[in-house]
Chains A and B, each alone.
Chain A
Amino acid sequence: MSAVAPVRSGARAPDRTAPAVPRRHPPLRRRRTWAAWGFALPFMALFLVFTAGPVLMSFAMAITDLRSSDLRNPLAVNFVGIDNFRAVLADPLFRKAAANTAYFVLVGVPLTIGLALAIAVLLNTGITRLTAFFRVGYYMPVVTSIVAVAVVWRFLLQPDTGLINEVLGWFGIAGPNWLADTHWAMPSLIAMATWRSIGTLIIIFLAGLQGVPVSLHEAAALDGATGWQRFRYITLPTVRPTILFGAVITGIGYLQFFEEPFVMTQGGPLNSTLSVSYYIYNQFGFGNYSYAAAMSYVLFIAIIVLTVLQFRLLGDRDPRPPRRRRAPATPVARQEVGR
């Protein structure tokens, strides 16, 4: 069994590239392509049957007038084209839900990513002891039952006896009735969602931070770079793909946020916390399957748009940060190396 050769920069044993290889095997490229398809096959087979199939069917739902009364005879419905989509976009309640959702995402995603990244960096490099303890602790919200979460958060947000208003009272601020106020209900839910989501992101970022070479940090520290600079120029670029992943996942999750309004406010007060997902859920509950399906696909378009935007902003590209004034490489290198 030939082991994979240890890679050394520079010299490579010339005899390694056995000239006999290309002759005895089919062209490498084609073999690799076959292997690639072989790797992809199990996933794709399952995917086509259990994901792609139902998706196509649900899309078909959206372009008909299927209702719950048609469940036994789903083919006995009328084809209505884009009528459902038009109805969705003209629905004032949908527009309200869309505005609420946009608000939630635009504030919530950066907040959650920033906080989770900060905590992950601290957990990764800032502390040396009790790391497991902290890691498990920050993951708690993810595994806590939504019922417990709801009770505690309701307690925090209570107008008279709640903790938040008590603390505000120390500073002389009279806190509002958070969940019953049309202006403050949404920010409360954003805080709650952020709190629930950082745990997952923290472990994802932790995994990504493992890819940052410690030696680089040491070298930069020796050169007198501050923590912030090391973070910005070494850590950040290396974890960029992970941040993109986190941002996309969070964006997708937040565009579909449902549990917080479902449990805490039922979309109120006065529909100020009605999210598109909650509205879709209600429509499915009423049996308006085709309308709800159409709305789901409108949401889907929104998710795609957001994801594409995120890929543009954070995606694969030249890792050089554009705005930075680049010092000429040579003198610095000489400073690094020249001893």
Chain B
Amino acid sequence: MNGISRARVGAAVIAVTALALAGCGRGDGTEDGAAEPAAEVTEGAASGSIEVWAMGTEGEKLGDFAAAFVAENPDVEVNVTAVPWDAAHDKIATAIAGGTTPDVSMIGTTWMGEFAATGALDPTPDLIDPAGFFEGAWETTNVGGTNYGVPWYVETRVLYYRTDLIPEAPTDWAGLTAAAQSAMDAGATYGINLQPGQTGAWQTFMPFAWQAGAQLVNDDATEFTLDSPEMVAALTEYQSFFTDGLAPTDLPQGSLEPDFMAGKIASFISGPWHVGILKELDEAGMANVALTTLPAGENEASFIGGANLAVFEATDNRDAAWKFVQWLSQPEVQVAWYSEVSDLPSVSAAWDDPAIADDPYLGVFAKQLETAVAPPSIPTWEEVASVIDTELENLAKTGADPQEIATAIQQQAAAIGTGL
């Protein structure tokens, strides 16, 4: 290319860019205004076809499971596409950008704020009765005052402990520290394992904050309130385990489960999936393992997570989509789903069913779900959570002052904003 044509190409590029940019510019900000009330869903059986995305095992099993729905609604066709958890977030985001969203999709609870803020999700119509769900679970569908989708399944965190090292389950903070200490006197290397920062640590720490009575955001979720005395109290408590040597700060990845089953670690906080993992590792050893609800601070609390089902605003078949979602929220269907994939139902009535009520471990989760709290469903939550993770690492590993940590978290969170 000689000099002349190079200049011509350059000019063309600039022209095109300028043209594109001329079309840019935000509107009057009406997008984030009050959400319109959800349109109603028509009566009668569902018809047409709907496309559903679900991740992991749920994606695998939902296709066949939905046959019962089709049996009740003969004119409807349900196409389930399984999506891997790895990068599912990216897939949904790009689908929104490219306009290729399905009718219904499973969405992780911590992603709700972000996707709702794009305007891609359909507000929940009156067809769905919120009273049936656990309160914490229903809160995960609330973004800026409007509810999107429904909770599908839940998970919450409880205390796993070894009965040979901790004979009696602790019921409050002081009890927890004492139990960890006595476990170490009895021979354990560590009394408890708490995540010392890094990805996901906030899910282990937040229960302490909620147990202390801390509020994370103000009432309409437009501002953060992370620098409060309650938060400092929770941070101090969390840090005490590390500074007193009760919890490790550098446990290698993958060592938790073997060390717990070997009695080196006396307790840890986690969700329902660890039951299966520990059983696989050492079935006989499970005789010495018990679960209990998290010890209370000012009150009891734990973290609630799980996944929701959302309908997309761009759907061609809104009626059938919402009817399918409603069907999946019925208690009997939730129980049947539990037998398929062991997902804990988000509908409280489902827990009365013997299949769940009689399980030795699930009773603890049921009790915990009554006091489980969800983090605010704001668009920027993931970023704020990662700030909290980083500051928790400073707290646990460098012995920083809890008040300074709380202030640092508040400052950074305020700079990010809630997105609402």
Contacts and interface: CB of A to CB of B under 8 A. Distances in A.
Interface residues of B, number: 41
B132 to A, nearest CB: 30
Nearest to A150: B253
Nearest to A267: B198
A117 B145 CA distance: 62
Contacts, number: 95
Contacts of A69: 114, 117-119, 379, 419
Interface in B368-408: 379-380, 382-383, 386, 390, 393-394, 397-398
Contacts of B90: 284
Given A154-B253, A154-B254, A270-B393, A79 B97 contact: no
Contact of B117 (A56, A68, A73, A284): A68
Interface string A60-93: 1000100011111111111100000000000000
A111 B298 CA distance: 56
B96 A72 contact: yes
Nearest to B20: A60
A60 B250 contact: no
A286 B118 contact: no
Interface stretch (B23-31, B169-177, B219-227): B23-31
Contacts of B25: 76-79
Contacts of B31: 73, 76
Interface in A265-298: 266-271, 282, 284-288
Nearest to A74: B97
B2 interface: no
Contacts of B394: 270
A239 B397 CA distance: 49
A284 B386 CA distance: 13
B89 interface: yes
B120 interface: yes
Interface string A148-177: 000100100111000000000000000001
B24 A68 contact: no
Contacts of A158: 252
B25 to A, nearest CB: 6
Contacts of A64: 24
Interface string B88-116: 01100100110100000000000000100
B17 A60 contact: yes
A151 B24 contact: no
Given A60-B17, A78-B25, A286-B380, A266 B198 contact: yes
A37 to B, nearest CB: 11
B312 to A, nearest CB: 11
Contacts of B71: none
B199 interface: yes
Contact of A76 (B27, B96, B250): B27
Contacts of A284: 90
Contact of B252 (A73, A74, A179): A179
B119 A76 contact: no
B417 to A, nearest CB: 11
A56 B99 CA distance: 20
B199 A266 contact: yes
B199 A72 contact: no
B379 A287 contact: yes
A271 B392 CA distance: 13
Interface in B291-306: none
B114 A269 contact: no
Contacts of A270: 393-394, 397-398
Contact of A72 (B20, B118, B254, B386): B118
A76 B26 contact: yes
A180 interface: yes
A286 B386 contact: yes
Nearest to A157: B252
A151 B254 CA distance: 9
A57 B55 CA distance: 30
A72 B379 contact: no
Interface string B189-207: 0000000011100000000
Interface string A31-71: 00000000000000000000000001000100010001111
A180 B386 contact: no
B250 A177 contact: yes
B21 interface: yes
B97 A72 contact: yes
Nearest to A65: B26
15 contacts: A56-B13, A72-B96, A72-B97, A75-B23, A76-B24, A157-B252, A159-B250, A159-B252, A179-B253, A180-B250, A268-B197, A270-B394, A270-B398, A287-B93, A287-B379
Given A56-B13, A154-B252, A154-B253, 8 more contacts: A68-B118, A76-B27, A78-B24, A78-B25, A179-B253, A180-B252, A286-B383, A287-B380
Interface of B: 13, 16-17, 20-21, 23-27, 31, 89-90, 93, 96-97, 99, 114, 117-120, 197-199, 249-250, 252-254, 379-380, 382-383, 386, 390, 393-394, 397-398, 419
State the 9 A-B residue pairs at the shortest beta-carbon distance, nearest first.
A180-B250, A286-B383, A69-B117, A71-B97, A71-B96, A266-B199, A268-B198, A69-B118, A75-B23
